[in-house]
């Protein structure tokens, strides 16, 4: 080990000890970041802790956002983040972005931001400090990138929604700013001032702009209006509203795929005679084409969701088959079982009560706490060396509105005593073995399937693509998906995942989009009378296993 590395380990140890001595913890990512500040770590940490105390924050963890809010860190500014982004894009151009099995060797060149040597350094210093919690986490090689549970702090009323949408707009604008053409984006208010629809203000507009009045505006979609031959779209960018029109078939199709309230960038030409703004181009945020991360060794994660324990339709026998399989040594799948280290459960663990009218007719257990006991009993049969990540769905205990906090401890004491289970909020992002998994139960998929032509319950991964394209997990506001008036919009997909895992729809579907693997992990509940009337045909009793070394998915069927 070099002298530099030793120094660095020393510093990291000191930072950890200092933070712990103050009764706090520090997220490994935050540790990496703070180490980049040359000399004033302790001052920065003191200030962050003081600020946390002032704000009466519940979380006792220092995270990267805390540090970014406080200092300008050398070598870790936006430009640097963009470089990583660029690197990923350019690598992607040379290889396929579908499932990587056949192009594996090409992946070796890509430096994984999460896997750089700094992690070894942290591990070393943490071990030296014998901080059991961290050792446990690092040995298992997982990190929680973000957990909405830590940030939930619902504000009330209209005030809350105003700041929620402002936050959505600002985060979306930050994502847009990675595009070259976004430099031309002008505020709607300014465009209106410059070009007053009827007369041009030649003092404030360049000659070129006056002769060729093409502008770009970016805002959240307010309204989409299909006329006979044309399609009107209205956007809001916090400074004003702008309506633009198109007769072009391709653009019309593009508009039909946009969700109301998602961010969009419109290039349009002003025709003052006709008093019309004609759309020339339309861009949604989307995700860049990229090559996903992969684990160094062959490790598997199981993805499941929607058990609905307590429902008459919970397929307990099939789920027991699954548990036996996990615990046993089935000869055909021995190779996989021995390599399973993680299980992600994407919500609707129990069926709950009062979730929809007359639900009690469909319940075997009519008390959600006893359903939860039953569920804990079942989860305790998962082998203890497998790490379980559990998020809530719309049937679970706790708040219903998104983002949802983790299943509250007060309803599930025993769940919290199972050491291999980590309960997280919905949505959340974890990093296991270098793979970023965005877990989201999928409540908004109902709204997306209902409002975007061509989508159906039989192919939920198609609807999941809309989430990635709009860079938002619940783009449409005001339909069936309840959204809480949080100050910050935590549903914006700021960081592009390697895997997007959802459930809710009860139909297994696997696909990929620009390098991200999309998994809807089905259910363990057979068709309910309601689903029958809706024409939803679930595909229950199947688990998805992902080989994290190449993101290859496998369906494992436990129906007999
Ligand atoms: O939802 C399972 C699927 O069935 C999901 O796509 C919604 C749909 N569903 C279920 N119950 C209802 C009601 N009452 N109204 C509309 N749509 C429904 P899950 O969350 O598992 O119940
Ligand atoms: Fe469900
Ligand atoms: Zn659900």
Atom of ligand 1 nearest to the CA of 357: 14
Write the DSSP string, 44-65. HHHHHHHHHHHTT-S--EE-HH
Kindly state if the Cβ of 233 falls inside 6 Å of ligand 1.
Answer: no
> 551 CB contacts (<8 Å, ≥6 apart)?
99, 100, 292, 294, 435, 498, 499, 517
pLDDT score at 333: 80
Nearest to residue 465, comparing CAs of 520, 524, 427?
520
Across all residues in the chain, what is the average pLDDT? Answer: 82
Q: How far, in Å, is the centroid of ligand 2 from the Cα of 444?
A: 12
Kindly state if the Cβ of 395 falls inside 6 Å of ligand 1.
Answer: yes
Tokens of 394: 């719309």
Q: How far, in Å, is the centroid of ligand 2 from the Cα of 363?
A: 14
Q: Does an H or E element contain 512, and which?
A: strand 508-513
CA 496 vs CA 73, 133, 285, 472: distances in Å: 23, 28, 12, 11
Distance (Å, whole) CA 446 – CA 25: 39
Kindly state if the Cβ of 247 falls inside 6 Å of ligand 1.
Answer: no
Tokens of 301: 């994660």
Which residue has its alpha carbon closest to ligand 1 atom 12? 530
Kindly state if the Cβ of 348 falls inside 6 Å of ligand 1.
Answer: yes
pTM: 0.75
Which ligand places an atom closest to the C-alpha of 404? 3
Residue 445 has φ and ψ, to the nearest 5°, of -60, -30
pLDDT score at 41: 72
Which residue has its alpha carbon closest to ligand 1 atom 1? 504
Distance (Å, whole) CA 511 – CA 370: 37
Q: How far, in Å, is the centroid of ligand 1 from the Cα of 531?
A: 7
State the pairing for strand pair 25-26/340-346.
unpaired
Kindly state if the Cβ of 441 falls inside 6 Å of ligand 1.
Answer: no
The DSSP 8-state label assigned to residue 102 in this structure reads G
Q: How far, in Å, is the centroid of ligand 3 from the Cα of 359?
A: 14
pLDDT score at 9: 64
Tokens of 236: 């809001």
SS in 3 state form for 329-374?
Answer: CCCCCHHHHCCEEEEEEECCCECCCCCCCCHHHHECCCCHHHHHHH
pLDDT score at 231: 95
The DSSP 8-state label assigned to residue 419 in this structure reads T
Q: How far, in Å, is the centroid of ligand 3 from the Cα of 306?
A: 7
* Residue found under tokens 């970016």: 218
Nearest to residue 465, comparing CAs of 505, 500, 427?
500
Q: How far, in Å, is the centroid of ligand 2 from the Cα of 528?
A: 11
The pick from 535, 536, 537, 538 for probing ligand 1's pocket by mutation, whose C-beta has the most ligand atoms within 8 angstroms, reads 536
Per-residue pLDDT of the chain (560 residues; tens, 9 = 90+): 344 445 566 677 777 777 777 777 787 777 877 776 656 677 778 878 888 877 777 777 888 778 777 664 433 333 333 222 211 111 212 222 333 322 222 222 222 333 322 232 232 233 223 333 333 344 468 999 999 988 888 766 667 788 899 999 999 999 988 877 788 899 999 988 877 654 555 566 666 666 668 899 999 999 999 888 999 999 999 999 999 999 999 999 999 989 899 899 999 998 776 678 999 999 989 999 999 999 999 999 999 999 999 999 999 999 999 999 999 877 778 888 999 999 999 999 999 999 999 999 999 999 999 999 999 999 999 999 999 999 999 999 999 999 999 999 999 999 999 999 999 999 999 999 999 999 999 999 999 999 999 999 999 999 999 999 999 999 998 889 999 999 999 999 999 999 999 999 999 999 999 999 999 999 999 999 989 988 889 999 999 999 999 999 999 999 98
pLDDT score at 203: 61
Q: How far, in Å, is the centroid of ligand 2 from the Cα of 458?
A: 15
| Pair 114, 529: CB distance under 8 Å | no
Q: How far, in Å, is the centroid of ligand 3 from the Cα of 295?
A: 30
Which residue has its alpha carbon closest to ligand 1 atom 9? 531
Give, to the nearest 10 degrees, the angle between helix 41-54 and helix 3-21.
30
CA 413 vs CA 372, 376, 388: distances in Å: 10, 10, 16
User: In angstroms, how far is CA 408 from the centroid of its own chain?
Assistant: 21
Kindly state if the Cβ of 506 falls inside 6 Å of ligand 1.
Answer: yes
């Amino acid at each position: 080990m070099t002298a530099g590395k030793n120094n660095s380990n020393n510093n990291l140890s000191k930072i950890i000890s200092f933070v712990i001595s103050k009764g706090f913890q520090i997220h490994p990512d935050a540790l990496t970041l703070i180490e980049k500040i040359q000399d004033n770590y302790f001052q920065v940490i003191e200030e962050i802790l003081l600020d946390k105390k002032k704000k009466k924050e519940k979380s006792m963890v220092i995270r990267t956002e805390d540090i970014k809010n406080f200092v300008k860190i050398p070598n870790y500014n936006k430009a640097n983040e963009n470089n990583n982004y660029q690197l990923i894009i350019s690598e992607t151009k040379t290889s396929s972005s579908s499932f990587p099995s056949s192009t594996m060797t090409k992946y070796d060149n890509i430096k994984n931001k999460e896997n750089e040597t700094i992690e070894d350094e942290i591990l070393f210093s943490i071990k030296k400090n014998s901080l059991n919690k961290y050792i446990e986490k690092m040995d298992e090689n997982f990190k929680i990138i973000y957990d909405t549970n830590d940030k939930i702090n619902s504000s009330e009323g209209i005030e809350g929604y105003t700041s929620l949408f402002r936050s959505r707009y600002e985060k979306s604008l930050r994502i847009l700013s990675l595009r070259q053409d976004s430099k031309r984006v002008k505020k709607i208010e300014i465009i209106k001032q410059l070009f007053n629809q009827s007369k041009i203000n030649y003092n404030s507009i360049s000659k070129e702009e006056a002769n060729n009045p093409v502008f770009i505006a970016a805002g959240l979609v307010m309204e989409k209006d299909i006329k006979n031959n044309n399609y009107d779209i209205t956007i809001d960018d916090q400074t004003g509203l702008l309506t633009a029109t198109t007769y072009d078939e391709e653009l019309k199709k593009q508009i039909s795929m946009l969700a109301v309230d998602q961010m969009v960038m419109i290039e349009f030409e002003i025709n003052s005679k006709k008093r019309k703004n004609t759309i020339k181009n339309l861009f949604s945020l989307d995700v860049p084409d990229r090559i996903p991360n992969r684990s160094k060794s062959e490790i598997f994660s199981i993805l499941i969701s929607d058990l609905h324990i307590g429902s008459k339709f919970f397929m307990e026998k099939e789920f027991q088959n699954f548990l036996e399989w996990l615990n046993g040594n089935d000869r055909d799948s021995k190779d996989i079982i021995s390599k399973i280290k993680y299980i992600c459960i994407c919500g609707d663990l129990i069926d709950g009560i009062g979730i929809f009218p007359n639900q009690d007719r469909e319940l075997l257990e009519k008390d959600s706490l006893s359903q939860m006991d039953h569920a804990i009993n079942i989860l305790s049969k998962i082998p203890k060396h497998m790490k379980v990540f559990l998020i809530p769905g719309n049937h679970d205990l706790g708040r219903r509105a998104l983002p949802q906090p983790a299943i509250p401890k007060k309803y599930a004491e025993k769940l919290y005593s199972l050491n291999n289970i980590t309960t997280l909020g919905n949505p959340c992002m974890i990093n296991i073995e270098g793979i970023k998994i965005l877990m989201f139960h999928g409540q908004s998929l109902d709204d997306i399937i209902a409002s975007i032509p061509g989508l159906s319950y039989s192919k939920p991964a198609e609807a999941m693509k809309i989430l990635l394209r709009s860079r938002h997990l619940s783009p449409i506001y005001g339909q069936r998906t309840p959204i809480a008036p949080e100050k910050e919009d935590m549903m914006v997909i700021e960081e592009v995942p390697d895997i997007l895992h959802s459930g809710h729809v009860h139909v297994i579907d696997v696909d990929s989009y620009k390098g991200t693997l999309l998994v809807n992990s089905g259910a363990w509940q057979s068709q309910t009378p309601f689903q029958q009337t809706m024409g939803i045909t679930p595909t229950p009793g199947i688990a998805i296993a992902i080989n994290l070394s190449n993101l290859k998915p496998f369906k494992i069927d436990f129906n007999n």
